Amino acid sequence: MEDIVWYLLSTVALLSAIAVVMIPKPLYSAFALVLHMFMIAGLFAMLDAHFLATAQIIVYAGAIMVLVIFVIMLLSLQGAEERPSLLFSVASFAIVAALARYIVPRLDAAFGSSGTDLAGTVKSVGELLYTKYIFPFEAASVLIMVAIVGAVILSKREKKDAA
């Protein structure tokens, strides 16, 4: 039963990820990306990482993708004028595949064992975030704050130039 669900989720995740880059219409590829986020959330849920799965839906599918679709609708983009050549596509695929081949085993060595004794409940994630990983957590929030302030300043300056 679990195997069937896993294969279903990962197949749809892969297909929708391919669809994101293959579909010429921007709005449809955004929809495919939303579907992909859902499948990733499902895979997280299968790993008992319930909090991560829900956060994935709230943050990526619910907030970021809404903004992306918002922008696509407002600009009413019609799609790329020219498709990249086959050689370019194959070359970029080869580079990404080689990088993944290099990175994934190292990621597994670095983080693979630490997660096994922890359940992905809200409680355990929260405890880890506010004790062991308090510094990266707070640093990330400062980083996001800097990005927000920067965005506000940049958009204000553009408005002044236009006026």
Q: Does 61 bind other proteins (CB under 8 A)?
A: yes
Q: Given the complex with other proteins, which of 70 and 137 has the nearer CB atom?
A: 70
Q: Does 19 bind other proteins (CB under 8 A)?
A: no
- Structural tokens at position 23: 């579909």
Q: Does 122 bind other proteins (CB under 8 A)?
A: yes
d(CA 153, CA 142): 16
Q: Does 63 bind other proteins (CB under 8 A)?
A: yes
Query: Residue 33 in contact with residue 20, Cβ under 8 Å?
Result: yes
Least CB distance from residue 89 to other proteins, whole Å? 26
List, as one string, the DSSP characters of 19-71: HHHH-SSHHHHHHHHHHHHHHHHHHHHHTT-HHHHHHIIIIIIIIIHHHHHHH
Q: Does 73 bind other proteins (CB under 8 A)?
A: yes
Q: Given the complex with other proteins, which of 77 and 98 has the nearer CB atom?
A: 77
CB atoms within 10 A of CB 31: 17
Q: Does 50 bind other proteins (CB under 8 A)?
A: yes
Q: Could you list the residues that contact other proteins (CB under 8 A)?
A: 27, 34, 50-51, 53-55, 57-58, 61-63, 66, 69-70, 73-74, 121-122
